[in-house]
């Protein structure tokens, strides 16, 4: 499996353990980080706060803007002009993601199979989740 090598944002185990051992500290940090992260990513990337950010793997394009919330590539309904089948006036998120990812040195990351979303993380801070090692399992 050439392209399934993880390209996941991870911090050292020690740091993850530290945050896992101090849930109140983590919570406090999240209260500070959350508004900054939410506002910044919302303005720049149209972030939907799934809490498991993969922007860096999808050409800095938020896949949650897709009406089907597809995280593994475009569906078969993309219109001939590259627009979304559900919202005809919107460019397909994945057409953009694929085009933009070509500019990234780690462009192969778009080929990684993204695991299913953990919906319990919806609305939480993806950054703090990385620190606490909560950003998604690698099963399905």
Partner 1 sequence: MSRPAAVVRFEDALRSGLPVVTCEIASGDGADAADIVRRARLVRDHVDAINVPDNTAGIVHLSALAAAAVLVREGVDPIMHVTCRDRNRLALQSDLLGAAALGVRNILCLTGDHMIHGDQPDAKPVFDLDSLQLLVLANVLRGGRYLSGRAIAPAPELLPGATENPFAPPYDFRPQRLMKKIEAGARFIQTQITFNVGRFAAFMKGVRDLGLDRRVPILAGVAPLRSARAARYMQERVPGMEVPEALVRRMDQAGPDRTRREDEGIRICVETIEQLREIPGLAGFHVMPIHWEEAVAEIAARARLVPARASLAARPGAEVLDERAADGPVAGAEASALGRHREHRA
Binding status of residue 114 toward partner 1 by CB under 8 A: yes
Verify binding: residue 111, partner 1, rule CB under 8 A.
Answer: yes
Which CB, 13 or 140, lies closer to partner 1?
A: 140
117 forms part of the interface with partner 1 (CB under 8 A):
yes
The rounded distance, in Å, linking the Cα atoms of 93 and 78 is 10
57/112 Cα distance (integer angstroms):
8
Q: Which is nearer to partner 1, 8 or 30 (CB)?
A: 8
Does residue 90 interact with partner 1 by CB under 8 A? Answer: no
Q: Residues 43-82: x/- map of binding to partner 1 (CB under 8 A)?
A: ------------------------xxxxxxxxxxxxxxxx
Contacts of 47 (CB under 8 A, 6+ apart): 38, 41, 53, 55, 62, 64
Instruction: Give yes or no for residue 93 binding partner 1 (CB under 8 A).
Output: no
The residue among 19 and 96 lying less far from partner 1, judged by its C-beta, is 96
Contact 136/128 with Cβ under 8 angstroms?
no
Q: Would you state the structure tokens that stand for residue 66, as one six-digit string?
A: 């897709």
Tokens of 124: 């939480």
Least distance in angstroms from the C-beta of 118 to partner 1: 11
DSSP letter for 91, please.
B
| Burial class of residue 32, CB neighbours in 10 A (0-12, 13-18, 19+) | exposed
Q: Is 106 in the site for partner 1 (CB under 8 A)?
A: no
Q: Give the residues lining the site for partner 1 (CB under 8 A).
A: 1, 3-4, 67-82, 85-86, 92, 94-95, 98-99, 111, 113-117, 119, 139-140
């Amino acid at each position: 499996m050439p392209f399934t090598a993880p390209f996941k944002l991870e911090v050292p185990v020690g740091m993850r353990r530290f945050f896992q051992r101090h849930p109140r500290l983590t919570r406090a940090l999240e209260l500070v980080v959350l508004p900054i992260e939410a506002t910044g990513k919302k303005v720049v990337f149209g972030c939907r706060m799934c809490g498991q950010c993969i922007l860096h793997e999808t050409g800095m394009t938020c896949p949650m803007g897709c009406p089907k919330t597809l995280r593994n590539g475009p569906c078969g309904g993309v219109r001939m002009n590259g627009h979304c089948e559900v919202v005809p006036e919107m460019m397909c998120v994945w057409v953009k993601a694929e085009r933009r990812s070509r500019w990234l040195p780690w462009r192969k990351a778009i080929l990684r199979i993204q695991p299913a979303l953990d919906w319990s993380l919806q609305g939480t801070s993806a950054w703090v989740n990385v620190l606490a090692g909560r950003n998604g399992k690698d099963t399905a």
